Structure 1
């Protein structure tokens, strides 16, 4: 446990009283000694992501970016701004694919990898396979807390497993109404207490949602601010969001009686967010309905929404499997790489992650191959 973060939270509670879970999570993840702000190891040492599982993920995202560039009439400069780039795995695999498979697009592509606390392979130990994927086109690396540092993007703002780390307010249903879960201090650690929601925005988000008493859930109000900033920064182009999550009708249902909040530490899943303070990730499913509606209100049109498995399959996942089998590798190595690739589309692994693309300044009814196989 990071005593610095724990003590900071306890001092805040002693001074101001119970705090929202949103504030508790913010301190655990982003305070000076928090999980993300003090990170010194690649993110893959805590949990697996699609880019670190196999570079085929980045290759197929590159194919979709190439199509976006062509739909924008091939501008001489196309910015791909990845927010939450972490260890750079996605950036490196996308750039490698563009240089080798889409050379015309590679000439226009300006890739910006932005992260709150980046840890890159050349600064730390990392996977051998990724070290072999050094792109010949440079990636601009930026240390930034979010998207606000950028201006007038023509291209695509993309993120992979970013929004699930947005802080959330937690609630419990009582007498048909949400009561917010606050965090306070008890004799043996942190204690949860219920009270009226800290902001009417929580109740507004849950309007029309019928849940039984005792049901728990989460509301991320940060989605609104994120979407507002993205809409201001993106001049023309697309927003590509990949994450685990659900539509509101599924997220707030009997399928999730205890909500979707969970923790990860050293690849181990946990439901105890009051342990290992500052040393574990705290995450929850993204409300994609809220994300779409927030975008529509700010001029971001929803182009397509699907599972990651379907999205990658439509972009040519099976062709990459065929390439693997024709690569001349030994049967053992082929089998290992195929297993890693299949994790990207298997609905029991990452295949059930969701993909949302929104657009700004593009023709209505525009279609992308990731959602409409051609």
Structure 2
């Protein structure tokens, strides 16, 4: 169960952070919030309702766009045209079907967006990106491949499929011992490029499971962080229930921040989620919600 579905206090606190961002940007008349991977819209609904309750002026400026790959059919309203969206019912259609002042767009990424003034946010998105698994064998970085042996899926170690894999690992300055296994997420570079291209002025808010590289690739994590879930049950073997379970890996925030810097994004804050929520008034809000 993710934070937005656990309780609406999560959305209220994110709304409070968005309001602060609006003030920092000197209260633009249109403040875009692009939520990527919005799914059923639980977080979106919680945020927009909290914004209206907290500050009607901010709520008036808010243009909340919830994007996901789920299909929806309709025309795009006028404020979206400034974002450079492709107005195409079959590719990026719009539908205002989640709740008040929330606009839903079918999209698989941010390629269609530009001139965003506000915040691009996503919750538990990057931990679902595909990863490359690697292992240290004979002092060298090897990639973990999968092949069929009879009817069984079997792992095979071989030279990395991309030179970026050892390059990224070596750039982190890690000391990895023989037999060490973990994962590397190469998709964050393309993702960060999309963020940089879409955002004209404002912020990116990343909420996810993960840690800095020094913690994520510590000796204690010598078998990596990849885990599968079927329902809410964790499963360590990705070769069970193939196609019927989610696969997730913790996010390397060091690489994410460094890649952001390469694409013109500046890290203004990094913290644990509990500290982040506490700084936004979690305890005060929890009393009101009677948590």
Q: If the length of structure 1 is used for normalisation, what is the TM-score?
A: 0.69
The answer to whether structure 1 residue 75 and structure 2 residue 28 are counterparts is: yes
Write the mapping of 1:1-374 to structure 2, written as runs, cut at 5 A: 48-117=1-70, 137-207=100-170, 208-325=173-290, 338=291
Measured after TM superposition, the shift of residue 171 of structure 1 is 0.5
Structure 1 unaligned blocks of 5 or more: 1-47, 120-133, 326-337, 339-374
Q: Give CA-to-partner distance per residue, 1:237-277, whole Å, 9 cap, x none.
A: 00000000011111111121110001111111111211222
CA distance in 2, matches of 1:320, 1:138: 23
Q: Give CA-to-partner distance per residue, 1:79-99, whole Å, 9 cap, x none.
A: 000001111111010011011
| Higher relative contact order, chain-length normalized (CA < 8 Å, sep 6+) | 1
Measured after TM superposition, the shift of residue 118 of structure 1 is 7.0
CA distance in 1, matches of 2:289, 2:204: 30
Q: Give CA-to-partner distance per residue, 1:140-163, whole Å, 9 cap, x none.
A: 011111111212111000000000
Q: Give CA-to-partner distance per residue, 1:300-353, whole Å, 9 cap, x none.
A: 00000000000000000011122234xxxxxxxxxxxx2xxxxxxxxxxxxxxx
Q: Give CA-to-partner distance per residue, 1:38-92, whole Å, 9 cap, x none.
A: xxxxxxxxxx110000110000000000010011000000000000111111101
CA distance in 2, matches of 1:185, 1:175: 25
Is the Cα contact below 8 Å between 1:59 and 1:93 reproduced in 2?
A: yes
Measured after TM superposition, the shift of residue 175 of structure 1 is 2.2
DSSP 3-state at the match of 2:203: strand
CA RMSD in angstroms, aligned pairs only = 1.3
Which consecutive aligned stretches of 4+ in structure 1 deviate over 4 angstroms post-superposition?
none
Is the Cα contact below 8 Å between 1:171 and 1:179 reproduced in 2?
A: yes
Is the Cα contact below 8 Å between 2:9 and 2:289 reproduced in 1?
A: no
Label 1:163 to 1:276 Cα distance change in 2 as closer, same or farther (>3 A).
same
Structure 2 unaligned blocks of 5 or more: 73-97
Is the Cα contact below 8 Å between 1:248 and 1:287 reproduced in 2?
A: yes
Q: If the length of structure 2 is used for normalisation, what is the TM-score?
A: 0.88
CA distance in 2, matches of 1:279, 1:234: 36
Is the Cα contact below 8 Å between 2:9 and 2:286 reproduced in 1?
A: no
